[in-house]
Structure 1
Amino acid sequence: MILREFLYVDTDKVRALLAQLDGGIAEESRETERKEKRTTIGPRSAAQHLQGTGSESYTNKSLGDALFPTLEEALESELLLHDISEEVSDADSWESGSLKTKYPPGSLVRITAPGSLFDTRYAAAAFAAFGHVNVGLKGIGASPSNEPQRTGKGKQSQQRPRPAKKGEGGVGQLEDAIPDFPAVGGTDGNTLRSFVQISKGVFTPGLHINMTPAKGALISARLQEGRQYLDTEAEILFARYGTERHDWTLVGSIGSYGTEETELPDMNFYNPGGNINRGLFAEAMNAQMRNLGRIGFIDLPQHPGFALIPFAVYRGIPRGTELVQVQP
């Protein structure tokens, strides 16, 4: 039996697929048992003794972590799930384009490869914490580094966080939580705020898992919140798993591959009469976004990688190779 440590399970999708495969999901079991013993003394109408026993057991079982392995086994038995771990680790598979041919969008795949978590919100929070530490050290007269601090004109008092800019609904931007602080090793508050601004474009704020099985290839998946099973909040996940790469197993369907278009899109979306052709306009805008995704400026898959719609993310729990005997 393989023990799994689940990071994410989209139980809605898992239930929907299981319902299509099996015609439903059994999450309830009921067992009833009854025994009777009848004793007759004398004439049939004289006396009778009836003794009955019965028992009923009822279990309403939520499948929980057992739900996804059930789907995984069913998909494998129907030859619908393809383990492509070895193929994606081969650089030639990406360069030749064979992956896209063999596994078009919609294919159900399982991939085990090195991957790391990323969340722009956590990056902003971490940079804000770094800035506040430096502000605090400056406030007590301590120096965060051995380099001389440039404090600008006049005497600098304790720095305060920058006031949040009012956007839609009066909500400040993520980068606004990063305070101004004296430069440390060439890095100051403005630099960190710029990194967060870039992060918001490259990765839409939210929890992502990025797999890099081969050089130059990225398999990305957005772990959607509110899908009934996400291990915990992003901040706690980073505290537990860190930002390093770990071997994760990702199961899902291929959403789309990164575009191979290299030319800028044609922005001619007018009908002969001069009015706008809505279909052409939508395609022209989508082509513009594909171009931005190609150069990595927005959160779209980048060639030659692809985006995966995740059903589950987990890692195996290793078993010990030696038994440890406890001395009495």
Structure 2
Amino acid sequence: MAVMSDARARLLSLLSLLQTPRLWPGSELAQRLGVSGRTVRRDIDRLRELGYPVRAEQGGLGGYQLTAGAAMPPLLLEDDEAVAVAIGLRTAAAQPVAGVDEAAVRALGKLLQVLPARLRRRVDTLSSSTVAHPFSLAGEPVDPDTLVVTAATVANHERLRFRYRDEGRHVEPRALVTAGRRWYLLAFDLDRDDWRTFRLDRVTNPAATGARAVTRDVPGGDVAAFVARRTMQMAPTYAADVVIHAPAAQVVDRLGGPPPGTLTEQPGGTCRWLAPPDTLEWHALRLASIGLPFEVGGPPELAAHLRSTAALFQAATAGPDHQGRHDGVAAPDPA
């Protein structure tokens, strides 16, 4: 094997080998790199100086292995690994779930920035062919590129222009926040001279302007609380009282965890769910996902919403003999 005389290229090759989770004998590393064992030891010391925790084991079965350290060092990814990570981050970003926040979006932005064009095309192709689970409870999907551009302006304290409901907006982004099942952008609207909250799935054509954004204090000082108050004002919400005809443990199993609010056992193998305020659509989705018989104790708006939704579904599946009968069915009220 040819000798790798370029020390920087050799270090990158050595790091790529060590990131494979196995114990590498020094002789094998020397053969792979085309250098002496002494050069391998010297390069290992350089990696340690750069913050990579390389453990050495002595003896005939010894060798070198990259281990977990106190800090996160840079990683080298193979082509297929980079594509897999990018697709995972794009999927999570487009359908926000608990635990995925602005840090994940920044990571996606960094990765997409350095992906070669051929790999980015693979990411776009595979992402476009990925179908979400039909029972997913996520909100409206967000364009990952919109999320990345917006997150970058937040991180860089840069002004942002975009279209929102076919209207041009010019803002100073403050934070990206997940609330409920959606991404929101909290920003100071320069044209309206006030704070605004934007649903990111409704943002189109975002573009960083390059102009520096002024650092402003959010009213109340708590970004998440401010966005929560604003989103609560956007749509009517209701607390729900539901009796489910199944034990509480079965409900938790169907949902993959306890629902928000309180879930208490009731006589006769039933349980009572007191759900915190949320939109009628979200209550209906969660109840449908449980897939168990239930009774609505309140509010009456939820009962009415379920009746209108059930009538709409029944008309849609009634068959050709009932075509046209759905014309008089009222659509669910929008939240």
Using CA pairs below 8 Å that are at least 6 residues apart, which structure has the higher relative contact order? 1
Larger CA Rg, structure 1 vs 2: 1
TM tier relative to shorter chain: under 0.3
TM-score (norm 2): 0.19
